[in-house]
Structure 1
Amino acid sequence: MQQLKPTYDKKCEGRVCKKRFTTKKIRSRFVKASNYDSDFCPNYSDESMNPLLYHIYTCPHCGYSESEDFSPYFPPGALDMINSKVVDAWIPQDYCQDRTITAAISTYKLAIYCGTLKREKHIIMAGLYIRLAWLCRSIKNDNQELRFLKLALKEYSESYMSDDFKGSSISETRIFYLIGELSRRTYQSEQAVKYFSKVIELQSRSTEPKLIEMARERWYEMRSEQKAAAK
């Protein structure tokens, strides 16, 4: 009996060039996170089974890269911009096979570039940046991880200010928690405490008690550290 492979081929169509291609995805039965970091980064005992590696679809024909979260809508002028900045400059590369972390990082950078040109919502861009930061963490590239966490924080903050997270899978409780946690990880303690407090204030109407508890734990940790530093 043939053994089932962890990856399978997903059929896609390039949203810009309209050409067909197949790309790899990991079967859900093989995805088992051993634990999660406090910013929801999943950790896997076998990094090759990390679905984050295949989160981005990169068209081998034109280079346009996106995740399933991208809107199918292109604002006026966006397609022209993508054609001139991405398609015309594309040196054919194939990211459609089994991916290394390095290859996956390249696909995220391409998707971030395409998403910026396409003017994707802040909440979508935040998701790309935080996942990219997690991949950098997995290879212990601390400088790049910090860089992308800061960019994710900026996008989550912009998303909250513009309300563009409404209608997504990210609740107000979660966006407050993420702003707090990413502030903490990027050494912005006062802002972190402020947003963890906002999460705790939502406890009476939030349907995410686990997030409230996590925020409370972070808040107490940070208050204790501040008191210790003040002595």
Structure 2
Amino acid sequence: MTAIDPLYDKKCTCPLCNTSFTTKKIRLRFIKMTNLDTDFFPTYADHNPLLYYINVCPDCGFSFHEKTSSSLSLNEKMLLIEKVCSRWIPRSFGSIRTVKDALITYKLAAYCALLRKERHIIIAGMYIRIAWLYRSQKKRKQEKRFMKLALKEYEASYMTGDFKGTKVTELQTMYLIGELFRRMGQINEATKYFSRVIEKQSKTTETNIIQLAKDGWHKIREVQQI
């Protein structure tokens, strides 16, 4: 009996240049999460799907995720061609990826998303994943840098409400802002957002988020009492 490979080739079409290419993804049956950190950073047993989240066109360099709109405006195309394609050296990220490879793909995708002026919540999701990958490498300085960028985008998303229509809820957004502030050492801001989350406890079914906010608030109190 032939063993099933955890990785498979997924066919993609570049929304920018229409090139067809394949990229690796991990079969769901092989994804086994062993831990979830307080900012939702997942740790996996063997195969890490975070490495394969971004698709990169080998021909033009346009980088995108599954939720990226396949329809690009003329202005978006012109800007991407100028800022990305003109500087791109053709190469493929369609094989097995290292953390270093994945970091490159996320940074490319974040740059493309910024050029396209995608939702803040989408850009925040890319930045926080970059921070997670740096954490997995124990590169604290780079982790903190991208955590700060993620925080800025999550705040903008909360203020504009552009998380609506995505899988990220308002409560999750508020909690993440509070948790990132806590990790950045900005205690007053962290407490403010944790309190906003806890105030919603009688009006929500997201009890796990309420508990996480309470845990974060207690961690702050413990540190303050030392």
Q: Same fold (TM over 0.5)?
A: yes
Which residue number in structure 2 is paired with residue 37 of structure 1?
A: 37
Q: What code does the residue aligned with 1:137 have?
A: R
Contact 1:9–1:24, Cα closer than 8 Å, also in 2: yes
Gaps of 5+ in 2: none
- Report SS of the residue matched to 2:25: strand
- Report SS of the residue matched to 2:9: strand
What's the TM-score, normalizing by structure 2?
A: 0.97
Contact 1:101–1:135, Cα closer than 8 Å, also in 2: yes
- Report SS of the residue matched to 1:97: coil
Q: Does 1:211 find its partner at 2:200? A: no
Mapped to 1, the partners of 2:187 and 2:73 lie a distance apart of: 38
Which residue number in structure 1 is paired with residue 66 of structure 2?
A: 68
Contact 2:10–2:23, Cα closer than 8 Å, also in 1: yes
Which residue number in structure 1 is paired with residue 129 of structure 2?
A: 131
Q: How does 1:3-152 map to 2 (within 5 A)?
A: 3-46=3-46, 49-75=47-73, 77-152=75-150
Measure how far apart 1:71 and its partner are.
2.7
Contact 2:151–2:181, Cα closer than 8 Å, also in 1: yes
Which residue number in structure 2 is paired with residue 158 of structure 1?
A: 156
Gaps of 5+ in 1: none
Mapped to 2, the partners of 1:69 and 1:141 lie a distance apart of: 29
Contact 2:15–2:71, Cα closer than 8 Å, also in 1: no
Q: What code does the residue aligned with 1:89 have?
A: R
Contact 2:201–2:210, Cα closer than 8 Å, also in 1: yes
Which residue number in structure 2 is paired with residue 184 of structure 1?
A: 182
Q: What code does the residue aligned with 1:6 have?
A: P
Measure how far apart 1:76 and its partner are.
5.4
- Report SS of the residue matched to 2:12: strand
Deviations 1:123-153, CA, capped at 9 Å, x for gaps: 0000000111111111111111000100000
Mapped to 1, the partners of 2:5 and 2:164 lie a distance apart of: 38
- Report the count of equivalent residues: 226
Measure how far apart 1:79 and its partner are.
1.1
Mapped to 1, the partners of 2:142 and 2:45 lie a distance apart of: 22
- Report SS of the residue matched to 1:204: helix
Deviations 1:39-96, CA, capped at 9 Å, x for gaps: 01001233xx100000000000110001112233435522101001111111011100
- Report SS of the residue matched to 1:167: coil
Q: What code does the residue aligned with 2:108 have?
A: L
Mapped to 2, the partners of 1:193 and 1:29 lie a distance apart of: 39
Q: How does 1:167-178 map to 2 (within 5 A)?
A: 167-178=165-176
Mapped to 2, the partners of 1:45 and 1:217 lie a distance apart of: 26
Measure how far apart 1:227 and its partner are.
3.2
Measure how far apart 1:223 and its partner are.
1.9
Mapped to 2, the partners of 1:129 and 1:145 lie a distance apart of: 10
Q: What code does the residue aligned with 1:52 have?
A: L
What's the TM-score, normalizing by structure 1?
A: 0.95
- Report SS of the residue matched to 1:98: coil
* Percent identity of equivalent pairs: 50
Mapped to 1, the partners of 2:29 and 2:7 lie a distance apart of: 10
Contact 2:15–2:72, Cα closer than 8 Å, also in 1: no
Measure how far apart 1:172 and its partner are.
1.1
Mapped to 2, the partners of 1:93 and 1:178 lie a distance apart of: 35
